[in-house]
A and B are shown apart, each in its own frame.
Chain A
Amino acid sequence: MQRRTSVRWNALAAVLCAAIMTLVVARVAHAEGTLDKIKRTGVFLAGVRYDFPPVGTIDLSGNPVGFGPDLAKAIADKLGVPVKYVQSTSQNRMPLLLNGQIDAEIGITTPFKSREETADFTIPYAWDSTTILVHKGDDTDPKHYGPPKKVATTQGSGNIDVFKRIVPDANFVLFQEYPDAFAALQNHKVDAVVLNRAATGVALKSDPNLAVGKDINRDVWGILVRPDDSKWRNFLNWTLQDLWASGEYQKIYAKWFGEQPWFPMWSQYGLQPGIGGAASCCGQ
């Protein structure tokens, strides 16, 4: 009898825990806009990746470096406040944002429709493509990597859908981090890794026996912000274009990707009317 009671108490405790979690989550309300909050606290909390060079990684002394951190710094300069970097991962970026631990995430987040139902995104701030990484000498055409061949990528990667468009019955092995997927390729556990072109540089540098395949699709990245905060999102949208108009964006991009951006900001016809003076051409 004693034991049965204790089991019932356990069940009650579990329900209570779930209820408390719900309450904690419900507490997260945002009366104050992010832009005002940054002005008040005097710091821009930027979520950046530590695990995805060259977009975001850490140097030997543990400081975040990369395209994302540099862009965050440029945005902070426009805000006139210092930047504070917070590590974001595919798993924690949303809780960090909703809890107010970051004001924006400048990582490699593609604005899926399903994601936009929970958060908001700025205009695309960089373009990438989906491709495959294979052993040198192997077929570089992604179309030829259907079953029985196995392909690896990371869980939740937008590249899964992209690859399935050309190989609908693809045999995926899903890892949590890209280094694990690379290891699986090197150990012949899989025949190819489906990944962003931006991530191939690191893999090639670490293993010269690998080769990059053909591009499958283009893919955009947006800065992730809290939903329903137009003032902040507008600020970021305009700042991205201002940085482009002044050439600072291109400088940062070239520093980390080794080439000038091959894509336009906002549209191929120019920047949004009203931005950057003469640089935004053509709008009537």
Chain B
Amino acid sequence: MDWSVVWHYRAAILEGLVYTIAISLLAMIGSFVLGTLLGCLRMTHQSVLNEAINAYIEIVRNIPLIVKLFFLYYIAGLDAFPSGLLALVIHQSGYIADVITAGFRSVGAEQAEAGYTLGLARWQSFLYGLLPQVTRITLPPLTSQFIEVIKNSAVVMFVGVQELTFATQEISQMTLRSFEAATVATVIYGGLALAVAGGMNRIGRRLDWA
């Protein structure tokens, strides 16, 4: 074991980390917004809209992330970073939409109906009655989804985005020290996942007080 190679490549690792954090954060926000929107729209029970959303989710979940990425990069002709970001957003939004839908189902229609009997409009009942409960219920599965985004973000190196995995591969390519490289990647990804879990925990605790 020779950990000095890690230090030697610190600039590359740091730069890769910045890319990983940037693309992951943007993809989390994007997929959360898109997924939540789809999940909520599904609750309107408009049959055409529902079919369309179901089809979207089915397609998105059944096509591997890398295929989406290659499609956006090579065929749609987007640049490397945008195609990577969009692929991550589209990919995770399918799963997040399902998580949100499940959240709504677990809260149950009677909660919305309780809102109506209190004289709330439909949107009020949704916004003040359902959504806070759904958010609380879906936080743990959303945490997994966000961690998934971080792990999936490594795929963007296949179109040449020099993110964290790319940077650690550089170590193993140039010095053949794959164990050190893999360990560094593991520790950093683990740290990122812990940070996300910690952040979501804080949000969860604030929601509990609300």
Which residues of A are in contact with B by a Cβ distance under 8 Å? 3-4, 7, 10-11, 14, 17-18, 21-22, 25-26, 90-95, 98, 112, 114-115, 117-119, 152, 155-156, 173-176, 180, 183-184, 187, 189
Contact = CB atoms under 8 A, between A and B. Distances in A.
B170 A156 contact: yes
Contacts of A112: 174
B89 to A, nearest CB: 21
9 contacts: A3-B204, A21-B183, A22-B1, A90-B173, A92-B178, A117-B175, A155-B166, A175-B159, A180-B158
Nearest to A152: B160
Interface of B: 1-2, 73-75, 77, 80, 157-160, 162, 166, 169-170, 172-179, 182-183, 186-187, 190-191, 194, 197-198, 201, 204-205
A156 B157 contact: no
Given A22-B183, A95-B179, A180-B158, 15 more contacts: A4-B201, A7-B197, A7-B201, A17-B186, A91-B172, A92-B178, A94-B172, A94-B176, A94-B177, A94-B178, A98-B179, A114-B174, A155-B157, A176-B158, A187-B74
B141 to A, nearest CB: 16
Contacts of A119: 176
Interface residues of B, dominant DSSP: helix
A84 to B, nearest CB: 22
Q: Which 8 A-B pairs have the closest CB atoms?
A: A156-B173, A94-B176, A14-B190, A173-B160, A118-B176, A25-B179, A114-B175, A3-B201
B15 to A, nearest CB: 13
A22 B190 CA distance: 16
Contacts of A183: 74
B198 A7 contact: yes
Nearest to A161: B174
Contacts of B1: 22, 25-26
B187 to A, nearest CB: 6
A98 B204 CA distance: 46
Nearest to A172: B160
Contacts of A187: 74-75, 77
Contact of B183 (A18, A92, A117, A189): A18
A180 B162 CA distance: 15
Contacts of B169: 91, 155-156
Nearest to B80: A173
Nearest to A17: B186
A112 to B, nearest CB: 7
B81 to A, nearest CB: 12
A118 B73 CA distance: 36
A18 B186 contact: yes
Contacts of B179: 21, 25, 95, 98
A118 B177 contact: yes
Given A18-B186, A21-B179, A91-B169, A156 B174 contact: yes
B162 A3 contact: no
A263 B174 CA distance: 26
Nearest to A116: B176
A26 B175 CA distance: 18
B23 to A, nearest CB: 16
A91 B178 contact: yes
Nearest to B158: A176
Given A91-B169, A114-B174, A118-B177, A175 B158 contact: yes
Nearest to A176: B158
Contacts of A180: 158-159
A184 B194 contact: no
Nearest to B198: A7
Most buried by B among A7, A92, A156, A173: A156
A105 B123 CA distance: 66
